[in-house]
Amino acid sequence: MRYESTNIEINTSDNILDKRNLDNLLYNVSYQRFNEKKGKGSTFSFKKILQRPNYNYLNKYSINNNVIGFVGNENINPSKYYVLGYEYFSKRIVFSAQTSYVSDFLSTFFDVNKGKILNTYTNFNKAYISAVTFGYNYDKYKFWKPSISIDGTYFLLRDERFKDILRSSTPRFTLNMKNRFEINKSTIFNLNFNFTSKYSDGLINHGQTNKLDFLLLKRFKNFDITFYIYDILKGMIEIDKVESYKFSVSSEEYRDNRIFGLSLRWNIVSKKFKEYKTEKIENDNIDRL
């Protein structure tokens, strides 16, 4: 359990003075069970978490371009998460489920001011977030070690002030598949795939993404060679869309996630030993018991 008290004083070049007091009591209560022989266990937990706004969130001075401007919001508050969770794990299986109630949920927000669309931040009164994750690792094969994880997340925003903007939410599903092939002691091959479905958090519609990565490692006596390709299918294109009765905004962005690389690592190992002779002293008069 932890208590925090924060005093904030803002004095800008416009001689605007703002003083704020933030007091919060944080806690984390958990109950764990573990069976060492079977290698499995479970955890129940209930905790309160704070999400604090950073400098960009609070910066009130706008950054403009031809279409969309950005301005922070110095009046936003930290988000308070109340999280109830359960986790189970064994040698091969991991399962977790949690649900959260969020007060003053902090999120990006679009609005119109003087004919220009502004991207800013605001607090929504309430948010509900639920998530379930299942993971499985299989280690019976000597040369192939696969693992898979699937998770689903659902967001629900509630605020009467923005009822004309908020839309119905849809769940997000994510699939992660990892494959490690140990061809021999000196050759390792990794093939990983990630897929995220399209979904809506009630405010922004997000497009689906996928990512396929390849890595080949070859070890020699004194050096290693690694060849890798990330995002082979060029599927990490972020597509977001916001619609309201005032405007419609859509964006498509690719952040150069496709990477080709070759790395060489040389290992310099040197061992030098010098022999020392130690004198052995034996004395029959001393009882070593």
Pairing of strands 116-137, 68-70: parallel
Tokens of 195: 């897929």
The answer to the question of residue 147 being in a domain is yes
pLDDT score, position 228: 95
**What is the spatial distance between Cα 94 and Cα 137, in angstroms, rounded to a whole number?**
9
- Let me know how many helices (H) and strands (E) the chain has, helices first: 1, 18
The pLDDT assigned to 81 comes to 94
* Per-chain mean pLDDT for the chain: 84
Q: In whole angstroms, what is the distance from residue 168 CA to residue 199 CA? A: 10
Q: Is 208's pLDDT higher than 70?
A: yes
User: CB of 199 within 8 A of CB of 224?
Assistant: no
Q: Is 10's pLDDT higher than 70?
A: no
Inside any domain, residue 159: no
CB 259 within 8 A of CB 228: yes
Q: CA–CA separation, 91 vs 94, rounded Å?
A: 8
Name the residue with higher pLDDT: 271 or 69: 69
Phi, psi angles (nearest 5°) of residue 190? -115, 135
* CB 126, CB 106: distance < 8 Å: no
Q: Are residues 121 and 29 in the same domain?
A: yes
Q: What is the pLDDT of residue 175?
A: 97
In a domain, 73, yes or no: yes
Encoding tokens for residue 103? 């007060």
The 10s digit of each residue's pLDDT in 75-108 is 888 899 999 999 999 989 999 999 999 999 998 8
Nearest to 75 by CA among 62, 63, 57, 61: 57
Instruction: Using pLDDT thresholds of 50, 70 and 90, give the confidence band for residue 245.
Output: low
Give the CA dihedral 187, 190, 191, 196, nearest 10 degrees. 180
Please check whether residues 41 and 106 belong to one and the same domain: yes
Residues 21 and 103 in one domain: yes
Q: Which of 81, 108, 93, 104 is nearest to 148 (CA)?
A: 93
Here the tokens at position 111 are 């609005």
Using pLDDT thresholds of 50, 70 and 90, give the confidence band for residue 214. very high
Best-predicted range by mean pLDDT (77-81, 246-250, 279-283): 77-81
Q: Do residues 175 and 131 both lie within one domain?
A: no
For 270-279, letters b (16+ CB in 10 Å) and e give: eeeeeeeeee
Q: Is residue 274 domain-shared with residue 184, that is, in the same domain?
A: yes
Residue 283 pLDDT exceeds 70: no
State whether 131 and 15 are in the same domain: yes
Inform me whether the pLDDT recorded for 149 exceeds 70: yes
Closest by alpha carbon to 106, among 70, 68, 61, 157? Answer: 157
Please tell me the least confidently modeled range out of 24-28, 109-113, 261-265. Answer: 109-113
Strand partners, 210: 195
Q: What is the mean pLDDT of residues 197-215?
A: 92
- Whether residue 220 lies inside any domain: the answer is yes
pTM of the model as a whole: 0.77
pLDDT band of residue 12 (cuts 50, 70, 90) is: low
| pLDDT score for 286 | 46
Collapse the DSSP code of 262 into the 3-class scheme (helix H, G, I; strand E, B; otherwise coil) and give the result. Answer: strand
Is 112's pLDDT higher than 50? yes
Same domain? 67 vs 177: no
Domains held by the chain: number: 2
Q: Binning pLDDT at 50, 70 and 90, where does residue 111 land?
A: confident
Range of the domain at 79: 1-137
pLDDT above 60: residue 154: yes
Give the C-alpha distances (Å, rounded to integers) separating 52 from 45, 57, 79, 104.
Answer: 22, 9, 7, 11
245 DSSP assignment: S
Residue 165 falls inside a structural domain: no
Same domain? 188 vs 105? no
Residue 287 has pLDDT above 60, yes or no: no
If you average pLDDT over residues 126-135, what whole number do you get?
Answer: 96
Terminal-to-terminal C-alpha distance of the chain: 54
Average pLDDT over residues 59-87: 81
Asked whether residue 148 falls in the same domain as residue 82, the answer is no
- Lowest mean pLDDT of 118-127, 214-223, 272-281, name the range: 272-281
Statement to judge: residues 90 and 194 lie in one domain: no
CA distance 37 to 90: 11
3-state helix, strand, coil in the chain (%, to 5): 0, 65, 35
| pLDDT at 13 exceeding the cut of 70 | no
Q: Residues 185, 266: one domain?
A: yes
